[in-house]
Each structure stands twice: as structure tokens, then as C-alpha cells.
Amino acid sequence: MKPLLPRLIAHRCGGALAPENTLAGLRVAAGYGYRGVEFDVMLSADGTPVLIHDETLERTTNGHGRVADTRDTELARLDAGSWHGAQFAGEPVPSFVEAGELCLALGLWANVEIKPGRGQESETGRKVARAARDIWQGLPPPLLSSFSIDALTAVREAAPELPRGLLCVAPPTDWQALCRQLECVTFHCSRRYFSSRLLDEARAAGFPLLLYTVNQPEDAGHLLDSGVTALFADRLDLLAPDSF
Ligand code: G3P
Ligand code: MG
């Protein structure tokens, strides 16, 4: 099943305008008129899927150490907002359940990027897939993407009905074969590696092409007009969804 994709997707919840991977970010995205968001999901020491980008806590929270070594009770005490600005002080590290439910409440479509800690690729894929199935329960589901082939394989096994996207920095020469093998419905890569040849290949193979991250309105306009399906954006203030 091919998902209906918004043309602009807020990167890490609220892009550059809110602390990444937070509930505040989801509210900011909705406030800017975004209909779609992307966020990163990893497992805590208790095996709970939570929203965070790095394998360690230091950059985006006041905690220390690896996410995979941190219990839920400890994660719940962390401040994931102050690093971005005092107005976000006390913003928690959300669980995937909390974020998914807020997406549903705000009417936001989601691209859930599975970001496994090292050695936890399959377990993370499996747990995120099962949680997504529980949260969305028959409603139009999120798109589950990952850089990890093992995570995507686990998603396919645990919840084959959930749409999957293959995520790369630079497209490998065999990206189409990988998409087919994993039964992915979309292909995502860095804007830096976009080329008209890649777009032609994606079109011919029937894979919607999604690029991260694009923040210049002119660039966004050209890419979408040329046939790129969707763009991940940090500057929600510069890229108004109504204009594209
Ligand atoms: O899913 C697109 C993008 O989020 C991938 O890169 O590092 O921002 O998660 P990163
Ligand atoms: Mg991401």
C-alpha cells in the first residue's frame, strides 16, 4: 500500500524551531501548518521505544550515557528542552506512544525513523512495528523508515502491513533492489546526493523519492516541481506548506 505523503515533512518533530524529537516540536509543526512530521525512535534500557536521535543523552538532554543503558524512570526525569531554549525547559523525552497519540490528536501524518542502538537493530524494528500497530490501530498508519536493513527486515516480519521506507545518505547502486527486497514503498536520501538521474530511476521504478533536509524555498520549489515526492525541512518558518 502506497501512503499518501505530505509534500513537506517537519524534520525531528519541529525542525529547527523546537527541541528535536519532543512533543513541543509536534505542536510547533502543527502550528506552522505542517501535516507531516518525522521523528527518530530508539529503545530505552527497559525496551521502551522513545524519541531521541543520538545513542547518547548528552547533546539533547541533561542526562549522561547511552539511551540503551537508561531506564524509563530515569529518562522521565530528564530535560530534553533546555538545550534549545529556556521556554522549552522541562520538556520530556517522549515515549513513542505519547508522540504517536499526539500526532493522531493533532492530525499529523508521521514518518517514524527507526534509529536502533548498536546491536539492537532487529529488536528495535520489531518493537517499534508492534507499537505502531497498537497506536494507529487500523487508522492510516505511519511510514516506518530506517538506515538499518536489519530493522526494516524485522518490521516486515512483525507487521508486514505497515509501509516501509529505505533511508540512505547516498543512494547505493543497488538501492532499488534493496527496496524491492525489503518491500519498501518509498526511498529517502540526503538532498546532497540528489540528481536528475536518481529521480528518473525512482520514477521508472515507481518509488516515491523523499529528500532530507531542504530549507531554501527556491530549492524546495524546484525539487517538488521536478517530481521529488516530499522534503524533510528544519526551517518551518521559511517553508510554508501552503506555498508548495
Ligand atoms: O529521516 C530523514 C532524516 O531524519 C535522517 O537523518 O540523522 O536527521 O535522523 P537524521
Ligand atoms: Mg531522522
Q: Which phi and psi (to 5°) does residue 66 adopt?
A: -85, 140
Contacts of 87 (CB under 8 A, 6+ apart): none
Rounded Cα gap, residues 152 and 129, in angstroms:
9
- Give the integer Cα–Cα distance in Å for 217 and 68: 38
Helix pair angle (149-158, 175-182), 10° resolution: 30
pTM of the model: 0.98
From 113, 115, 148, 211, give the residue whose CB has the most ligand 1 atoms within 8 Å, as the site to mutate.
113
Which comes out higher in pLDDT, residue 112 or 242? 112
Per the structure, the complete domain to which residue 149 belongs is given by: 8-55+95-243
Ligand nearest to the CA of 189: 1
| Cβ of 39 below 6 Å from ligand 1 | no
Is residue 4 very low, low, confident or very high in pLDDT (cuts 50, 70, 90)? confident
- In a domain, residue 84? The reply is no
- Residue 89 counted as domain residue: no
Q: Does residue 40's CB lie within 6 angstroms of at least one atom of ligand 1?
A: yes
User: Is 94 a residue whose pLDDT tops 90?
Assistant: yes
Q: Please report whether residue 22 resides in a domain.
A: yes
Is 53 designated active site?
A: yes
**Domain-embedded: residue 148:** yes
Q: How many domains does the chain have?
A: 1
CATH code of the domain containing 231: 3.20.20.190
What is the distance between the terminal CA atoms of the chain, rounded to a whole angstrom?
25
Question: pLDDT tens for residues 146-171?
Answer: 999 999 999 999 999 999 999 999 99
pLDDT digits (tens, 9 = 90+) for 25-76: 999 999 999 999 999 999 999 999 999 999 999 999 999 999 999 999 999 9
Residue 187 domain-assigned (yes or no)? yes
Residue 202, all three cell numbers:
525512482
